[in-house]
């Protein structure tokens, strides 16, 4: 490079000379320290990647929820451990790559090597990844095998997926005979943005699945209509519920508390409105809950027997039927009975609804194969009689028909 002489400048040109010379020295220095800075950049990149991953792993917002069962702990520990292995591989591979690019670039005078094959290198980069995979697969396989061991449960609960709610039946152990449905309880006003969202928006239900702490709970899964999936991440459970098939899984909750999940299989229009809430209680509190549930079931059975023999007025049935329709039917057929064209049939002016009562009862109780109309036989005789009466006398439908619970009972039998 050509140097500059102070004599070539007059007046304030001396200051200008100093500035230009300073810049030229900077360029020369940068060329000399380029290699040194390159190695520093590689180190900085590794430290930055490590810091980024660590911050994400520590923050629960970006990580798994705190595990609350032995399976969930094993899943969590393996997740963290495998991510560290991946991070080490990432830093090693990209570190070597960037080091090679920066330290052996053409501007430093290096020439490209002329080779195309190395048996030793190919053996090394095949054997080492295989060994890493084996080390990773061994504990994962042990966990998967443990997840499938549903033998000797303390409590067995049948879980049935419906569009769009869950049914729970306690089949074995303390609580045997308890049965109920669990549906989303988030207010419609929140869903429609007419009210502020609650703390557990779309993750709250009217009836929680209740289990005791420290007991092995077997979950037997099936579905009534389409494929669903029962997923509670804090308990380490995710299992598909398939119509016509029985799948099972299990968990043992370590601590009392409330643990939330949701359907994890796309199951239709309201897939996002199928939350799961598991409440884990101490042994004494659980026994009290079971006693209360069994008392309510006995009272409900007595009331159902009385209702089956009772003759309801059309006004009583329409009032109750409107409530049942809003809870079970309006999501598809819409509050105004117009349905959704191409997906869900309109009930307002429907030939079926205005036709023979027996056909109307049959499709509500048994559903229609090959369509989105799922069976609602799980509803009580009173609820079915009420909702059918309501549909036949709502909107422009004015049949004047009254369906009594005794008719539903006769149809079932």
| CB-based contact 399:393 (threshold 8 Å) | yes
Ramachandran assignment for 301, one of left (phi > 0), alpha (psi -120 to 50 degrees), beta (any other): alpha
Domain limits at 346? Answer: 310-412
Burial 232-252 (b: 16+ CB within 10 A, else e): bbbbbbbbbbbeeeebbbbbb
Q: Per the domain annotation, does 122 fall within a domain?
A: yes
Q: Per the domain annotation, does 92 fall within a domain?
A: yes
CA distances from 99 to 29, 67, 115 (A): 21, 40, 20
The SS3 call for residue 229 is strand
> Which of 242, 270, 299 is the C-terminal boundary of a domain?
299
> For residue 221, what is the domain's CATH number?
2.60.40.420
Q: Per the domain annotation, does 305 fall within a domain?
A: no
Mean pLDDT of 305-320: 89
Whether 225 has a pLDDT exceeding 70, the answer reads yes
Instruction: Assess whether 253 and 125 both reside in one domain.
Output: no
> Which of 248, 266, 299 is the C-terminal boundary of a domain?
299
| CB-based contact 204:187 (threshold 8 Å) | no
Whether 37 has a pLDDT exceeding 50, the answer reads no
Instruction: Assess whether 78 and 136 both reside in one domain.
Output: yes
Whether 364 has a pLDDT exceeding 80, the answer reads yes
> Which of 248, 279, 299 is the C-terminal boundary of a domain?
299
CA 412/CA 381 separation, integer angstroms: 9
Instruction: Assess whether 136 and 202 both reside in one domain.
Output: no
Question: pLDDT tier at 338 (50, 70, 90 boundaries)?
Answer: very high
Instruction: Assess whether 289 and 221 both reside in one domain.
Output: yes
Return the structure tokens found at 275.
């939350």
Instruction: Assess whether 16 and 142 both reside in one domain.
Output: yes
Cα torsion angle, 126, 130, 131, 133, sign: positive
Whether 355 has a pLDDT exceeding 60, the answer reads yes
Instruction: Assess whether 49 and 80 both reside in one domain.
Output: yes
CA distances from 240 to 159, 184, 308, 371, 385 (A): 11, 20, 37, 21, 33
Instruction: Assess whether 13 and 141 both reside in one domain.
Output: yes
Q: Quick one: which of 98, 204, 96, 211 has its CA closest to 153?
A: 211
Return the structure tokens found at 259.
């643990």
| CB-based contact 242:227 (threshold 8 Å) | yes
| CB-CB neighbours of 225 under 10 Å | 18
| 161-188 pLDDT tens trace | 998 899 999 999 999 999 999 999 999 8
Whether 284 has a pLDDT exceeding 90, the answer reads yes
Q: Per the domain annotation, does 237 fall within a domain?
A: yes
Question: 260 or 43: which carries more pLDDT confidence?
Answer: 260
pLDDT at residue 60, as a whole number:
61
CA 281/CA 256 separation, integer angstroms: 5
Whether 328 has a pLDDT exceeding 70, the answer reads yes
> For residue 397, what is the domain's CATH number?
1.10.760.10
| CB-based contact 57:83 (threshold 8 Å) | yes
| CB-based contact 323:208 (threshold 8 Å) | no
| CB-based contact 283:212 (threshold 8 Å) | yes
- The residue whose two tokens read 């911050």 is 55
Q: What phi, psi does 150 have (nearest 5°)?
A: -100, 15
| 82-95 pLDDT tens trace | 999 999 999 999 99
Q: Per the domain annotation, does 304 fall within a domain?
A: no
Instruction: Assess whether 400 and 293 both reside in one domain.
Output: no
Whether 237 has a pLDDT exceeding 80, the answer reads yes
Instruction: Assess whether 35 and 87 both reside in one domain.
Output: yes
Instruction: Assess whether 263 and 321 both reside in one domain.
Output: no
pLDDT at residue 52, as a whole number:
54
Strand partners, 344: 340
Return the structure tokens found at 364.
């509500």
| 70-121 pLDDT tens trace | 999 999 999 999 999 999 999 999 999 999 899 888 888 888 878 778 889 8
CA 19/CA 254 separation, integer angstroms: 71
Cα torsion angle, 223, 229, 234, 235, sign: positive
Strand partners, 243: 223
Question: pLDDT tier at 288 (50, 70, 90 boundaries)?
Answer: very high
Instruction: Assess whether 293 and 319 both reside in one domain.
Output: no
| 386-411 pLDDT tens trace | 999 999 999 999 999 999 999 998 99
| CB-based contact 254:68 (threshold 8 Å) | yes
Q: Per the domain annotation, does 71 fall within a domain?
A: yes
Q: Per the domain annotation, does 171 fall within a domain?
A: yes
Q: Per the domain annotation, does 38 fall within a domain?
A: yes
Longest Cα–Cα distance in the chain: 119
Mean pLDDT of 60-67: 82
pLDDT at residue 58, as a whole number:
44
On average, the pLDDT of the chain sits at: 86
pLDDT at residue 45, as a whole number:
52
Number of domains in the chain: 3
> The whole model's pTM is what?
0.75
What is the arrangement of strands in the sheet containing 257-263, beginning at the earlier edge strand? 209-212, 275-281, 257-263, 228-232, 237-241
Q: Quick one: which of 391, 408, 405, 402 has its CA closest to 313?
A: 402
Q: Strand (E) positions, 164-224?
A: 165-172, 179-182, 209-212, 216-223
Instruction: Assess whether 167 and 290 both reside in one domain.
Output: yes
Whether 33 has a pLDDT exceeding 90, the answer reads no
Question: 335 or 374: which carries more pLDDT confidence?
Answer: 335
pLDDT at residue 301, as a whole number:
84
């Amino acid at each position: 490079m050509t140097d500059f002489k102070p004599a070539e400048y007059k007046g304030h040109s001396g200051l200008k000379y100093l500035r230009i010379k300073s810049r030229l020295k900077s360029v020369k220095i940068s060329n000399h320290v380029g290699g040194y800075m390159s190695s520093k950049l590689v180190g900085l990149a590794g430290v930055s990647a490590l810091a980024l991953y660590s911050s994400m792993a520590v923050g629960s917002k970006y990580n798994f929820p705190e595990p609350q069962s032995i399976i969930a702990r094993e899943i969590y520990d393996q997740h963290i451990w495998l991510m560290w292995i991946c991070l080490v591989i990432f830093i090693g591979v990209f570190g070597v790559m960037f080091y090679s690019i920066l330290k052996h670039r053409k501007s430093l005078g290096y020439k490209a090597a002329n080779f195309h094959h190395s048996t030793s290198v190919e053996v090394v980069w095949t054997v080492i990844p295989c060994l890493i995979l084996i080390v990773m697969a061994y504990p994962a396989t042990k966990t998967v095998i443990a997840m499938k061991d549903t033998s000797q449960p303390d409590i067995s609960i049948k879980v049935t997926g419906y569009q769009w709610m869950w049914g729970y039946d306690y089949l074995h152990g303390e609580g045997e005979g308890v049965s109920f449905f669990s549906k989303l309880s988030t207010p419609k006003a929140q869903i429609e943005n007419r009210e502020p969202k609650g703390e557990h928006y779309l993750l709250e239900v009217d009836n929680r699945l209740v289990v005791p702490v420290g007991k092995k709970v077997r979950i037997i899964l099936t579905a009534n209509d389409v494929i669903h999936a029962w997923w509670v991440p804090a308990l380490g459970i995710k299992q598909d519920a398939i119509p016509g098939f029985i799948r099972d899984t299990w968990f043992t909750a370590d601590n009392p508390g409330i643990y939330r999940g949701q359907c994890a299989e796309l199951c239709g229009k309201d897939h996002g409105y199928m939350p799961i809430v598991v409440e884990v209680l101490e042994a004494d509190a659980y026994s009290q809950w079971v006693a209360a549930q069994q008392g309510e079931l006995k009272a409900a059975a007595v009331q159902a027997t009385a209702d089956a023999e009772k003759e309801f007025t059309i006004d009583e049935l329409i009032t109750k039927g409107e409530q049942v329709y809003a809870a079970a039917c309006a999501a598809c057929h819409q509050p105004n009975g117009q349905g959704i064209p191409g997906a869900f049939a309109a009930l307002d002016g429907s030939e079926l609804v205005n036709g023979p009562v027996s056909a109307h009862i049959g499709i509500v109780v048994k559903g229609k194969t090959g369509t989105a109309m799922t069976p609602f036989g799980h509803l009580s005789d009173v609820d079915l009689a009420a909702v059918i009466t309501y549909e036949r006398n709502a909107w422009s439908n004015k049949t004047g028909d009254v369906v009594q619970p005794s008719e539903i009972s006769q149809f079932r039998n």
